[in-house]
């Protein structure tokens, strides 16, 4: 029996372990000095005025909608080809996600379809930097400016990516990152909101901390807030991960490069198109089967790979076909054919910093045999 090759894995060194242990030995496990330290390190890396750590990427998205005043009845245009949290965050306060289909090559929200989805209730656009490739933000901004829409960037999969030389996450009025262990860097659970907008930053700092004003009293709560705080334990881990981030990105580039080299001549698969003016930050390694395969064949290949100890998964099922989206928003099969056709044929292969050349060879060989 061959050993398991996992779909994803975190990259934790002794430096992270030491940093976490030091917090455990200190007096402050939360609301202590490691939070501002992590935020400053992160803001420095991204070049933003504010970085606000929180309990998850989902919490960060939720707080940004509150800070932007998006509420009941407001429509937000977004992509159905994403992780569920991006559009769920719109629903939390009564906003309505309005989906538009994606570009078949870049797998990102298709800016050419946004304008037709705008109604008098449209208030914002939520582009998602899917699989570590920035969405086409200049095209999105030109539409948003014309129609006076807010722009929030879901960059939870794209820390380290760039668009025309600018960091992903800094391309909207605010950007959100997530640090679940399958992301490029991790804090176990955690998230970060980045922005140059002082009003958004003020509100997010307050909302994450039970609606307190940053300089107000412990029992003064001028607005409805949440407990979306990160702990100092997580922040200490995050600071080391940010300091190691170039090394982490280089490992991910290495693994993706090996896959791409070995799959370059494989006509039965295609990869996401990376626009020339973008730098991808590899999040997952997803391949798309050609149109001659259907969903059942894709699922069969995934099952056989798994039975050989190769971690792999569908990535993503369309959001609009999740049962509660069909019930609440009336979405149906056939609404977004490009997303559905892609989603039926994508497969995420094992992808993490420690994959060896031999493991990648084993994955590619098994996959080719099943094709
Ligand atoms: C991971 C992810 C999130 C949410 O991040 P969590 O930290 O898990 O809450 C949001 N949007 C996208 C696109 C993601 O991939």
Note down the domain range covering 67: 14-243
Q: Is residue 271 part of a domain?
A: yes
Tell which of 243, 274, 301 closes a domain. Answer: 243
pTM more than 0.85: yes
Mutate to test the pocket of ligand 1, among 60, 157, 193, 313 (most ligand atoms within 8 A of CB): 157
- Are 260 and 239 members of one domain? no
Q: Which residues of the chain have pLDDT under 50?
A: none
Q: Which atom of ligand 1 is nearest to the CA of 189?
A: 7
- Are 366 and 265 members of one domain? yes
The residues lining ligand 1, judged by C-beta closer than 6 Å to any ligand atom, are 56-58, 82-83, 85-86, 128, 154, 156-157, 178, 180, 191
Nearest Cα to 291, choosing from 79, 109, 104, 82? Answer: 104
Of the candidates 123, 164, 183, 304, the residue annotated as catalytic is 183
- Are 276 and 195 members of one domain? no
The two three-digit tokens of residue 155, written as one number:
């960059």
Looking at residue 1, its pLDDT comes to 56
Cα 191 to averaged position of ligand 1 atoms, centre (Å): 9
Tell me the H-state helices in the chain.
14-24, 34-46, 57-68, 85-91, 137-147, 198-208, 232-243, 245-263, 295-307, 323-329, 337-343, 357-370
Domain count, the chain: 2
The two three-digit tokens of residue 23, written as one number:
């917090």
Q: Which atom of ligand 1 is nearest to the CA of 190?
A: 7
Tell which of 243, 266, 284 closes a domain. Answer: 243
- Are 70 and 194 members of one domain? yes
- Are 36 and 46 members of one domain? yes
Burial 181-218 (b: 16+ CB within 10 A, else e): ebbbbbbebbbbbbbebeebbebbbbbbbbbbeeeeee
Mutate to test the pocket of ligand 1, among 102, 156, 193, 315 (most ligand atoms within 8 A of CB): 156
- Are 234 and 89 members of one domain? yes
Q: Is 164 a catalytic residue?
A: no
């Amino acid at each position: 029996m061959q050993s398991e090759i996992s779909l994803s894995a975190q990259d934790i060194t002794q430096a992270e372990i030491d940093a976490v242990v030091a917090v455990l030995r200190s007096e402050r496990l939360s609301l202590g000095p490691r939070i501002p330290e992590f935020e400053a390190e992160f803001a420095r890396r991204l070049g933003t005025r504010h970085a606000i750590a929180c309990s998850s990427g989902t919490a960060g998205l939720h707080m940004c909608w509150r800070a932007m005043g998006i509420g009941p009845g407001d429509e937000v245009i977004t992509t159905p080809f994403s992780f569920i949290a991006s559009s769920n965050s719109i629903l939390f306060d009564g906003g309505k996600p309005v989906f538009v289909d994606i570009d078949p090559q870049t797998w990102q929200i298709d800016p050419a379809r946004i304008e037709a989805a705008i109604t008098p209730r449209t208030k914002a656009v939520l582009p998602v930097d899917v699989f570590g490739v920035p969405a086409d933000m200049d095209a999105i901004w030109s539409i948003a400016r014309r129609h006076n829409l807010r722009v929030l960037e879901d960059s939870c999969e794209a820390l380290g990516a760039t668009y025309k030389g600018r960091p992903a996450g800094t391309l909207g009025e605010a950007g959100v990152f997530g640090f679940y262990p399958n992301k490029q860097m991790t804090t176990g659970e955690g998230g970060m909101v980045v922005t140059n907008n002082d009003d958004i930053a003020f509100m997010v700092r307050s909302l994450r901390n039970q609606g307190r004003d940053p300089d107000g009293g412990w029992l003064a709560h001028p607005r409805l807030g949440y407990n979306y705080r990160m702990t100092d334990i997580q922040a200490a881990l995050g600071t080391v991960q940010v300091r190691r981030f170039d090394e982490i990105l280089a490992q991910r580039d290495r693994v993706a490069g090996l896959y791409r080299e070995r799959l370059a001549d494989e006509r039965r698969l295609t990869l996401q198109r990376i626009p020339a003016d973008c730098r991808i930050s590899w999040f997952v390694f997803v391949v798309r089967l050609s149109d001659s395969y259907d969903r059942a064949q894709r699922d069969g290949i995934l099952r056989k790979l798994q039975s050989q100890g190769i971690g792999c998964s569908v990535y993503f099922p369309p959001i609009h076909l999740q049962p509660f989206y069909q019930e609440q928003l009336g979405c149906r099969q056939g609404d977004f054919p490009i997303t559905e056709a892609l989603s039926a044929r994508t497969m995420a292969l094992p992808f993490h910093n420690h994959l060896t050349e031999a493991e990648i060879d084993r994955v590619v060989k098994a996959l080719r045999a099943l094709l």
